[in-house]
Homo-oligomer: A and B are copies of this chain.
């Protein structure tokens, strides 16, 4: 493979001139520019960016760490990130933690061996080994999605409490009284916030509404099994709120197995808005997270830090939108006591 010296010799110039032509750093005589370009083309020369990074101490790699690249939510996030990165001249090194804090730390070290300009991390839980390590390495770090409570770093998340309260008010207004909220794991702050939002709305609704929270785990199959157990044990809930895309799938499988009719017997609301959620029957009411906006916001924040921004940590919370479809439609009996106002929601909106 030809090096910059091969190109320089062929063009009859110095390596510095080749570098200057390719990187447009200093002005070079048109004659030499064209000789260099020809040499590059004839030799099929491709710059070694690793060597360039080593010498210039400027990295064009950004590291991305997600819990599971096969999960549609994270894959979409990464896809948006990739386009933004390419636009800005960066390449992405993408690794998965497999939802395991130990692997998260190992993968973070892996990323750092390539000396990225910055890191975007979607942690698997609150343990966040990333923060201290990245800080020690002096690499800018932006955390997204599963962000901790009191951020001492740049974070991009969503208004979990607000939208969870909104969903709950929607269910109660539809006549539901026994709400089952299904988290993946309550060790994830996102999940706790969503449960908080539900609980606040239930509390505001008064004595007639009951709430139960269960953990479905990290796989759809596991969630399905736990949910089938629960649904075959009275009292049966009349509303299911599944708090992420994986448990949403598990919930659908469990309901299909249970023989309960949706939405007549039980209302169903999911989280995330994959395309297939519109083709199940009945079409699924879900919470749409602004994945694209989150990814872009994370990237912009990282670019700002890479560019030298030393302002205090930014904590961004984006709004989710409730996509009402038929799975949360009216129950068999008309609601006895429809609610018009939802104080929990209003309070959450005010606070955000």
Contact = CB atoms under 8 A, between A and B. Distances in A.
Interface stretch (A111-119, A184-192, A335-343): A111-119
Contacts of A91: 93, 95, 110, 114
Interface residues of A, number: 50
A86 B71 CA distance: 19
A79 B50 contact: no
Interface in A1-54: 1, 44, 46-51, 53-54
A68 B79 contact: yes
Interface string A89-100: 001111110000
Contacts of A137: 1, 44, 46
A150 interface: no
Of A47, A76, A276, the most chain B CB neighbours within 10 A belong to A276
A138 B51 CA distance: 19
Interface in A260-277: 274-277
A274 B279 CA distance: 14
B112 A46 contact: yes
A75 interface: yes
Interface stretch (A194-202, A248-256, A305-313, A315-323): A248-256
B95 A79 contact: no
Contact of A75 (B75, B136, B252, B277): B75
A137 B2 CA distance: 9
Nearest to A49: B113
A51 B75 CA distance: 30
Nearest to A72: B72
B278 A253 contact: yes
B220 A249 contact: no
A326 to B, nearest CB: 11
A48 B46 CA distance: 22
A256 B279 contact: yes
Contacts of A230: none
Contacts of A275: 220, 249
Nearest to A220: B275
Contact of A50 (B50, B78, B133): B50
Given A44-B136, A50-B54, A91-B110, 9 more contacts: A47-B113, A48-B54, A48-B115, A69-B75, A69-B79, A91-B95, A92-B95, A279-B280, A280-B281
